Amino acid sequence: MSKSNRSGSVELSDLLCFDIYSAARAITRAYRPLLATLGLTYPQYLVMVALWESAPRTVKDLGESLELDSGTLSPLLKRLEAAGLVTRQRRRNDERTVEITPTPGGRALLRAAERVPTEMASLMGISGAEERKLRTILGRLTASLDRPADGAPAPKA
């Protein structure tokens, strides 16, 4: 109730997309001061998380995990390399692929980064149940958007 427009007009407060867009920016804003102590930006942090999970990883592999293409990753990885956190090396048996490996310094950063999720969690202030519900719905939404040939009802943009 209360979200239909009288005429065919559009209103910001009706747009689900705007809530998600706002939330995403609120999150990166909240991360910024935490990550600044590590010398990382938010996307750089995500790349390091992926590398702490398993390494070495190719640029393509990182791109698939984070849904980022080389246009974004190449310069980002160069900055991480310049910061001394990763190395970039062509694979011997396939010179097209570049393998990204954390340096000892990059691996050491994990210890300082371990407190970040906990601190963010307390800033977000939602319950475990809400979090599960949120992730379920967002997962469906993202999957639906990434595969437009989808049979589903019609919510509100």
Q: Does position 27 bind a copy of itself by CB under 8 A?
A: yes
Q: Which residue has the tokens 């559009």?
A: 10
- Does the protein bind a copy of itself through residue 38 (CB under 8 A)? no
Distance of CA 96 to the CA centre of its chain: 26
Which amino acid type is present at position 112? A
User: How many residues in the shown chain lie near DNA by CB under 7 A?
Assistant: 33
Chain center to CA of 135: 14
What is the 3-state composition of the chain as percent helix, strand, coil, each rounded to the nearest 5?
60, 10, 30
Q: According to CB under 7 A, which one of 14, 38, 42, 144 is a site residue for DNA? A: 42
Pairing, β 86-90 against β 57-58 = unpaired
Is residue 88 a contact point for DNA (CB under 7 A)? Answer: yes
CB atoms within 10 A of CB 67: 9
142 lies in the binding site for a copy of itself (CB under 8 A): yes
* From 38, 41, 49, 81, residue interacting with a copy of itself (rule: CB under 8 A): 49
What number of chain residues touch a copy of itself (CB under 8 A)?
A: 72
| Among residues 38, 46, 55, 83, the one that binds a copy of itself under rule CB under 8 A | 46
d(CA 89, CA 18) in angstroms, rounded, equals 40
Separation of alpha carbons 29 and 19, rounded Å: 15
Q: CB under 8 A: which stretch of 4-12, 73-81, 83-91, 93-101 binds a copy of itself?
A: 4-12
Binding DNA (rule: CB under 7 A), the pick from 49, 55, 63, 120 is 63
Contacts with DNA, residue ranges (CB under 7 A): 25, 28-29, 32, 41-44, 58-60, 63, 67-79, 88, 93-99
